[in-house]
Amino acid sequence: MAQRFKDVDWIGLFLWLFRAAIIVLVLWGTVAKIFFGAGNAYSASDWIDFFVSGLSQGSLYALIALGYTLVYGVLFMINFAHGEFFMSGTMTATVFIALPLSASGFLDRNPIIGMLIILVVAMSISVGVALLTERIAYRPLRRAPRLVPLITAIGASFFWQYFFRGLYGSSLIPFPELQALQGKFSFWGVDILKTRAVVIVSSVIMLIGLYFFVMRTKTGKAIRAVAEDKDVAALMGIDVDRTIAITFATGAAMAGAAGILYGLVFRQVHFFMGFVPGIKAFTAAVLGGIGSIPGAALGGLFLGVIEAVGPPLFLEGLGIPGGHQLKDVIAFTMLVLVLIFRPQGIIGERLAEKKA
Amino acid sequence: MALLEVDNVHAYYGNIHALKGISLTVEEGEIVSLIGGNGAGKTTTLRSISGLLSPREGTITLRGEDLRQYKAHQLVSKGVAMVPEGRGVFARLTVEENLQMGAYHRSDRDGIAKDMRRVYQLFPRLEERKGQVAGTMSGGEQQMLATGRAMMSRPTLLLMDEPSMGLAPVLVEAIFQTIEEINKEGTTILLVEQNAHMALQIANRGYVLQTGEIVLQDSAKSLQQNAMVQKAYLGID
Ligand SMILES: Nc1ncnc2c1ncn2[C@@H]1O[C@H](COP(=O)(O)OP(=O)(O)O)[C@@H](O)[C@H]1O
Ligand SMILES: [Mg+2]
């Protein structure tokens, strides 16, 4: 008897109860909200609004998450400086391009050309910062134990934060507002803020473009080959170091673009702006299964939507007030849940199989 | 001048002295077999030639040109290709994508398409499965793929590391037949094997490697007759 008592897997039991409790709470809150109208009353268009704002936030997470996933795919390393790639391009393009273009009126006269210039500059700076970081901080550690580049990445992240704080100061810098993007579009009677529509559409285009780049082009195939086996890739004539650098650059370009879209939505930039979106995007990448590109995209969208819809739905249903301030709690609870119960991510494959 | 000349190569893993002065030559058009037991240094020898590993000492030349000045990825365009131990197919790439990777350094579309047809002719099985992800194929099919992929670079010198490893006898037979065929079409082959019986049967010459040293070298025929080889590698008493 005593023996059998000891065999009870207490941790397993606790985790099982924990999971059951979360599911019950979410369902309870949802049911309370939908059938008993707990909390505020929302109209159908309010719900659509929550959902669309979630999609727009989520598509930003998705774009940033690609960088984590691509780099993890080739190096099995979490690049914690990725949020700073996002920040560096955005701040530089805002200070040197967006604000002057806006002040001179050029941006409102030629919004498309203006935005393209801003986008290209942001992406280029992000790529430059990523390439420098890779070359100086990561490449020399290619053969070091895995914890070493991870810690270096955290160091690199601090370095770039304070570097750009030194350059641009520590105050909030406004991102110019585009006249062309004020107001709403109306689709089949549903009103959507123009900025959100632009963010969603351009993110989706970039996500699809990136998917084709990785799946169809020669360079994309080389990236996948390097992700699987660096020695064999080299035997094929693939320059592994160069391909890894291209992988960093690709992720950083997406982050730079995401930064400008972020500027359009939140209309301010800041040296610390990479931190929270970076961690959220990392969460999204883990949710989708880190290493998987469709996973990063879906993980990002899913996280964005659940952050936006979760508080009015099950948090208010549970009688928790001010739910919107708790969206970070939802995001990180999900990260913890996924790490405990499904570390391969929602649609990802098992990491253990790939490499450990 | 021999096609490949390896002279007095010493290689280390940390403090482990894995190759203790290996010298061997491969003439144009030959099949040369390097036989030896587990841990003798066969793989290390091939990795040194293909640039994946940098020996501490010694020279490696291809038609007189020093190969050690190049990185691994630069050697493909010099005409060196390798079928790695355990086949090393890209498991999550399709069969066709794997073959395309073999031709990575080339840009002659027509030539690549022609070589791809040739590989499919040699291994019809690969054509049937060209859209399939390589990781889901059997060991024999993966070996065909790894061989076909190496052929896609149009190598002058093909290094093969234990192609028969883990394959059923019928498949081993087939693989060695293909190796002979590839050789007849003009590719020189340095073949590493534990399966000394088959390896010596198709080879012109052979080397016997023991704990990082070449202990014997001769024509394949004489090695098959050699008492020590028979006892240690052919299972004949
Ligand atoms: N990555 C490695 N690290 C340390 N020692 C190694 C490594 N690879 C091979 N060795 C050692 O080098 C020697 C030769 O190995 P290898 O060339 O793989 O032999 P073979 O291919 O003939 O079986 C062996 O003693 C092996 O233990
Ligand atoms: Mg070996």
Mean pLDDT of B124-134: 95
pLDDT of residue A349: 56
> Taking chain B, what is the end-to-end CA distance rounded to the nearest angstrom?
39
Q: CA neighbours within 13 Å on the CB side: how many for A8? A: 8
Is B53 close to ligand 1, i.e. is its CB under 6 Å away?
no
Ligand 1 site, residue B166, Cβ cutoff 6 A? no
Question: What pLDDT shows up at residue A354?
Answer: 42
Q: How far is CA A11 from CA A2, A22, A76, A334, B141, in A?
A: 18, 16, 28, 19, 44
Which residues in A lie closer than 8 A to residue B97 (C-beta atoms)? 221, 224
Give the number of other Cβ atoms within 10 Å of residue B107's Cβ.
9
Find the closest chain A residue to B79 by CA distance.
A237
For a pocket test of ligand 1, which of B22, B33, B38, B43 has the largest count of ligand atoms closer than 8 A to its C-beta?
B43
B1-79+157-163+187-237: what fold?
Answer: Rossmann fold (3.40.50)
* Residue B15 in contact with ligand 1 by CB distance below 6 A: no
Place of tokens 């059938």: A35
For position A352, what pLDDT does the model report? 39
So what's the pLDDT on residue A6? 61
**Measured between CA atoms, how close is B90 to chain A, in angstroms?**
6
Chain A residues within 8 A of B135 when measuring between CB atoms: none
pTM of the model: 0.90
Does A221 contact B100 at a Cβ distance shorter than 8 Å?
yes
Tell me whether residues A236 and B82 touch, CB distance under 8 A: no
A chain contacts of residue B75, beta-carbon cutoff 8 Å: 237
How far does residue B39's CA lie from ligand 2's centre (Å)? 7
Task: Tell me the C-alpha distance between B147 and B84, whole Å.
Answer: 9
A chain contacts of residue B77, beta-carbon cutoff 8 Å: 237
Contact B44 CB / ligand 1 (< 6 Å)? yes
Q: Is the Cβ pair A222, B101 closer than 8 Å? A: yes
Q: Are A202 and A259 in contact (CB under 8 A)?
A: no
Give per-residue pLDDT as tens, A108-140: 888 899 999 999 999 999 999 999 999 999 999
Q: Is the CB of B42 under 6 A from ligand 1?
A: yes
C-alpha of residue B11 to centroid of ligand 2, in Å: 14
Select from A236, A239, A240 the Cβ nearest to the Cβ of B102. A236
More confident residue, B236 or B80: B80
The response to whether residue B84 sits with its C-beta less than 6 Å from ligand 1 reads: no
Question: Which residue on chain B is closest to A217 by alpha carbon?
Answer: B97
Looking at beta carbons, which residues of chain A come within 8 Å of B81? 235
Positions in chain A short of pLDDT 70: 1-8, 38-39, 322-324, 347-356
Q: What is the pLDDT of residues B158-213, one digit of tens each?
A: 999 999 998 988 899 999 999 999 999 999 999 999 888 889 999 999 999 999 99
Instruction: Tell me how close the Cα of A215 comes to any Cα of chain B, in angstroms.
Output: 9
Distance from CA of B175 to the nearest CA of A (A): 20
DSSP string, B42-56: HHHHHHHHTTSS--S
Atom of ligand 1 nearest to the CA of B37: 22
Residue B15: φ, ψ to 5°: -95, -10
Phi, psi at A144, each rounded to 5°: -80, 160
Query: What is the per-residue pLDDT across A22-58, written as a single tens digit (0 to 9) for each?
Result: 888 888 877 777 777 766 777 777 888 888 889 999 9
Chain B residue numbers touching A221 (CB-CB < 8 A): 93, 97, 100-101
Q: Which of A135, A264, A142, A126 is nearest to A193 (CA)?
A: A264
Determine, for residues B84 and A228 on separate chains, whether the beta-carbon distance falls below 8 Å: no
| Residue minimizing CA distance to atom 7 of ligand 1 | B13
Please compute the mean of the pLDDT values over residues B33-42 and round it to a whole number: 94
Average of per-residue pLDDT across B104-113: 94
Judged by CB atoms closer than 8 Å, whether chains meet at A221 and B93 is answered as yes
Which candidate from A221, A228, A238 shows the least CB-CB separation from B73?
Answer: A238
Rounded (10°) CA dihedral B53, B59, B64, B66: 50
CA-to-CA distance for A323 and A334, rounded, in angstroms? Answer: 16
Mean of per-residue pLDDT scores for chain B? 93
Domain segments of chain B as ranges? 1-79+157-163+187-237
How many helices (H) does chain B have, and how many strands (E)? 10, 10
How high is the ipTM of this complex?
Answer: 0.94
User: What separation in Å is there between the alpha carbon of A31 and the centre of ligand 1?
Assistant: 62
Pull the structure tokens for residue A186.
């109306």
Residues on B contacting A at a C-beta cutoff of 8 Å: 50-52, 71-77, 81-82, 84, 88, 90-93, 97, 100-102, 104-105, 149, 153
Query: Between chains, do B149 and A237 touch, taking CB under 8 Å as contact?
Result: no
Whether A234 and B72 lie within 8 Å, measured CB to CB:
yes
Look at residue A186 in the predicted model and tell me its pLDDT.
Answer: 81
What is the distance of C-alpha A189 from the center of its chain?
30
